[in-house]
Chains A and B, each alone.
Chain A
Amino acid sequence: ILNVEQSPQSLHVQEGDSTNFTCSFPSSNFYALHWYRWETAKSPEALFVMTLNGDEKKKGRISATLNTKEGYSYLYIKGSQPEDSATYLCAFSRSNTGKLIFGQGTTLQVKP
């Protein structure tokens, strides 16, 4: 059984705070790690795809790192804004077939 664990399950921060959350995945036979941002009633929006140990990706105030040897990825949001409120999903694949195994997500609420 392949499990992708995300923590925390939910997070409440004040506007301007920086925050981070974790995605843990099986480190054996790793192929790729994806991060998505999912707002209610919308489609999951792709943020990053990472494949190499030590990868770091950045998109505006959001960045992510990858450690394939120990099986974790961090997502960082610098200076959170209310519009960052969403559920952040990570998904892992073990092969090049594209089958993604999703975590349960971290729901972020940013208070103005």
Chain B
Amino acid sequence: NAGVMQNPRHLVRRRGQEARLRCSPMKGHSHVYWYRQLPEEGLKFMVYLQKENIIDESGMPKERFSAEFPKEGPSILRIQQVVRGDSAAYFCASSQGQGEETQYFGPGTRLLVL
């Protein structure tokens, strides 16, 4: 059973460009979470999605960031008009259920904004 897959692993963007980060959950998992690790900081929750639904987006910046988890295909975290402060490691996790279910993490996407 493949683990959580994220791509790309590294992404370089210039200021003003768009960044698209993809996450394929573990097989059989329908719950996806995105976390961000800014330089010198810990993991911070961004958003929790189930298929076709955003359940909790309390950690998402109000502007330029969006997330989706379509019926088919991976979950996408989209950052429009990136700025240098968006440079971070973005981690995706998936779980079979919610609540006390274990969240399994992917390897992360390291975004660098020049």
Contacts and interface: CB of A to CB of B under 8 A. Distances in A.
The answer on A and B forming one complex is: yes
Contacts of A91: 43
A45 B48 CA distance: 19
A49 B58 contact: no
A45 B43 CA distance: 14
Interface size class of A (residues with CB under 8 A): 20 to 34
Looking at A32, A42, A44, which has the most chain B CB atoms within 10 Å of its CB?
A44
A23 B70 CA distance: 36
Looking at B43, B98, B107, which has the most chain A CB atoms within 10 Å of its CB?
B43
Main DSSP-derived SS at the A contact region: loop
Contacts of A103: 42
A96 B56 contact: no
A99 B105 contact: no
B40 to A, nearest CB: 10
A15 B43 CA distance: 29
Interface size class of B (residues with CB under 8 A): 20 to 34
Nearest to A47: B102
Contact of A51 (B48, B56, B100, B103): B100
Contacts of B106: 43
A100 B99 contact: no
A31 interface: yes
A36 B104 CA distance: 10
Contact of B56 (A36, A45, A49, A99): A99
Interface of B: 3-4, 31, 33, 35, 42-45, 48, 55-56, 58-59, 91, 95, 98-108
